[in-house]
Amino acid sequence: MNHTHERVPVAAALVAALGAALFILPLVGLLWKAPWGDLAGALREPEALMAMRLSLICSLAATAISIVLGLPLAWIQARAEFPGRSLLRALTLLPVVLPPVVGGVALLSVFGRRGLLGQFLDPLGIRLPFTTGGAILAETFVAMPFFVLSMEGVLSTLDRRLEDAARTLGADRWTVFRRITVPLVRPSVAAGAALAWARALGEFGATITFAGNFPGRTQTIPLAVYVQLENRPEAGLALSLVLLAVSLTILVIMRGRWLEAP
C-alpha cells in the first residue's frame, strides 16, 4: 500500500505524544535513576549474580521445553482435523491472557503436595513447587503459548506441496516432519523461541506463586528486583537495566521480523 502521508491534526498529535510519553518516560526515568557509577559493583553482589545465573538457566530451559513440546502441538493445531480443535487452540491461548498469578495458583493445584498430580508424585519424591524445576515449569506455562501461536501461523502458511513431494519419494510422515517441515520453519522457530524466551525471562507472578522466592533456587531476576527494591534500590535498578538491555537486544535482532511495516 502506498498511501500519501496525511497532514496530522494538532489535537491528534498531542494525544499521540501523550501516549508515546507513557512508554518513553519510564524508560528515561530508569536510565536517569540507574546507579551508573557502580553498576558493575551492584551486579557483582552475590544475590544479583545468583539471580542472573538462575534466570538464564530457567528461561533457557523453559524455551527448550517450549520448542520440543510446542512444535508438535503447533503442528497438530495447524494441520490435524479433530473434534475439539478450536477448544484446544483456545486453551493454548489462555495463558497469554490469564493473570500469571492465577497460572501459579493453577499449577499449585495440580503439582502441590495434595494437588491433582502432586498427591501421586510426592510419594515418589518428585516435588515441583518451590524448586528450580517449579520455576522452570511456571515460566514454560506462560512462555510456551507465544511459541505455539507464532509457529501455528507459520505452519499453516507453509507450502504443503513440498511435503506431498517428499511423500511421493517414499518419506513417511515422521521423515517429512523431520527433514522437510522442521528445516523449512527453522528461521521462524528462532523468532518464536526468542519471543518465548523474552517472556520467560520476565516471568514474575506465576513463578513467585508456584515456586516461591528462594535466593539461588527460585529467585529469578524479576523476583530479585522486587525484593532488592525494598532494601537496596541500586541493586534492583541495576538488575532492571540488565532485563532492559536483554529486551532491547532481542528487539533489535528480531526487528526485521516483528517490526515490518504492513
Partner 1 sequence: MSLEARVRLRRGTFELDVELAVEAGETVAVLGPNGCGKTTLLHALAGLIPIEEGRFTLDGVVLEDPAQGIAVSTEDRPVAVVFQNQLLFPHMSALDNVAFGLRCHGRPRAEARRIARTWLEGMGLGDRARARPGALSGGQGQRVALARALAVEPRLLLLDEPLAAVDVQGRAELRRDLRRHLASFGGVRLLVTHDPLEAFALADRVIVLERGHVVQTGTPAAVTARPRSRWVADLAGVNLFHGRADGNRVTLDDGGALVIPDRAAPAGDVFAAVHPRAIALLQAKPEGTPRNVWRGPIDEIDVEGPIARIRVSTVPPVIAEVTTAAVEALSLAPGQDVWVTIKATEIALYPG
CA–CA separation, 26 and 22 (whole Å): 7
- Cβ at position 250, least distance to partner 1 in Å: 25
Cα–Cα distance for residue pair 27/59, rounded to 1 Å: 24
* 208, HSE (Cβ side, Cα atoms, 13 Å): 15
Closer Cβ to partner 1, 72 or 187, answer by number: 187
Which C-beta is closer to partner 1: that of 162 or that of 245? Answer: 162
Residue 176: which of 184, 186, 167, 188 has the closest Cα?
A: 167
Contact set for partner 1, span 182-241 (CB under 8 A)? 183-184
DSSP per-residue string spanning 105-128: HHHHHHHSTTSTTHHHHGGGT---
- Residue 180 near partner 1 by CB under 8 A: yes
With contacts defined by CB under 8 A, how many residues of the chain interact with partner 1? Answer: 17
DSSP type of residue 211: T
Distances (CA, A) of 229 to 101, 157, 208, 232: 20, 46, 16, 6
CB of 181: closest distance to partner 1 in angstroms?
Answer: 11
Fill in the per-residue mask, 144 to 173: x = in contact with partner 1 (CB under 8 A), - = not in contact: ---------------x-xx-xxxxxxxxx-
Nine-digit cell at 136? 522452570
In contact, 107 and 206? CB cutoff 8 Å = yes
Nearer to partner 1, 167 or 217 (CB): 167
- Taking the complex as a whole, the smallest distance from the CB of residue 166 to partner 1 amounts, in Å, to 7
Residues 66-95 that bind partner 1 (CB under 8 A): none
Nearer to partner 1 by Cβ, of 81 and 230: the residue is 81
Q: Does 178 bind partner 1 (CB under 8 A)?
A: no
Decide whether 38 or 172 has the Cβ nearer to partner 1: 172
- Residue 113 corresponds to which cell in the numbers above? 503436595
Residue whose CB is less far from partner 1, 185 or 235: 185
Contacts with partner 1, residue ranges (CB under 8 A): 159, 161-162, 164-172, 175, 179-180, 183-184
